[in-house]
Each structure stands twice: as C-alpha cells, then as structure tokens.
Amino acid sequence: MPSAVAEQQARRRAIAQLLEHNTIVRQAELVQLLRAAGVHATQSSVSRDLKDMGAAKLNSGYSLPELHRDDNEQQLKAVAEFVRDIRTAGPNLLVVLTAIGAAQRVALTLDRLDWPEIVATLSGDDTIFIATTGAAPQRRLRSRLNEKLRKATS
C-alpha cells in the first residue's frame, strides 16, 4: 500500500497532467477525472493540492504556473559542486554525500525538482537520505542524478 506522501505525489502528477490536457472549471470535475483514472481523490484533497501547486482559477478554468523544465538543469548546476558521492542503501534508499554544510541546500534543490522517483529527502550536515518507492525507481534516480550532475559540472 502506498504511503500518504507517495499517494499525494501521484495525485498531484495526475492533476498536472489533467490540467495540461483538459479545461477544468470546477474541482468536482477534477475529482471525477482523477477517480476515473484510478487515483484516490476527495474534494478537500484536490483543493489542498491545487493550492499547494500554485493553481489559479481563471475564467477559462484552473491553470498551473508554467513549469520551466530547463530550471532543473540550472538548479542542479548550482549545487553540483557540493555533491561528493551517491550510494545505494537498501532497495529504496539513496545516500548522497555532500561537502560539509551543504546537505540541506542540495536536499532542498532535490525536493524542488519534483521528480517522481523522489518520495522524500532527509538531510543532515553533509549527508542526505533520499527515499524512493522501490528498487527500480532508486536505480533510475541514481542514474539520473549521476548524469545530470556530471553534465552540470562539465
């Protein structure tokens, strides 16, 4: 059974996709579309999600702020120099070692990327734990981070 955080993230990804491809004027419509897609949703959870996602209700329907995919590259570039190593720790945990004092900054950047593989991060002074939903997402995330960080520093 997925955790509440994983369920929320999946719902928010589904909301973003629905708003991108449909004109939705009422939250009730969004709840119906989510349920039809097999995503657990209530009016109150959708309302919270829309607020947290920065959605605006326009005359033409709900709209999300523009996501700038290129920003991911820029955000990672800003913290790449602090990352020292990325290791696996079990089937759904990555450990990112950073320069002393940089873990919180790197973890915040990772949180803001909103990548589906990342369930949550926990940072200390020079270490970050990244929880994933399983072994396959963990491998994907490790590969993705290594690729993007290497690209950012070259």
CB 120 within 8 A of CB 131: yes
Query: Do 26 and 43 belong to one domain?
Result: yes
SS3 breakdown of the chain: % helix, strand, coil, rounded to 5?
55, 20, 30
CATH number of the domain residue 22 falls in = 1.10.10.10
Residue 59: the pLDDT is 80
Query: Do 73 and 149 belong to one domain?
Result: yes
Rounded distance, CA 146 to CA 144, Å? 6
Query: Do 29 and 84 belong to one domain?
Result: no
* 40 vs 65 pLDDT, higher one: 40
* 66 vs 106 pLDDT, higher one: 106
Structure confidence at residue 68 as a pLDDT band (50, 70, 90): very low
Task: Report pLDDT digits (tens) over 107-135.
Answer: 988 988 888 889 999 999 999 999 998 99
Task: Report pLDDT digits (tens) over 5-64.
Answer: 888 888 999 998 999 888 999 999 999 999 999 999 999 999 999 988 878 787 888 887
Residue 63: the pLDDT is 82
In eight-state DSSP terms, residue 118 is -
* 41 vs 69 pLDDT, higher one: 41
Cα 65 → chain centroid: 15
Note down the domain range covering 100: 69-153
Residue 62: the pLDDT is 87
Q: Please report, as a single letter, which amino acid is at residue 37.
A: A
Structure confidence at residue 71 as a pLDDT band (50, 70, 90): low
Query: Do 22 and 43 belong to one domain?
Result: yes
Query: Do 58 and 78 belong to one domain?
Result: no
Q: Is 39 helix (H, G, I), strand (E, B) or coil?
A: coil
**CA angle in degrees (0–180, nearest 5) for 149-150-152:** 60
Query: Do 81 and 145 belong to one domain?
Result: yes
- Put simply, whether the predicted model's pTM sits higher than 0.85 gets the answer no
pLDDT tops 70 at residue 69: no
Rounded distance, CA 147 to CA 73, Å? 11
Structure confidence at residue 152 as a pLDDT band (50, 70, 90): confident
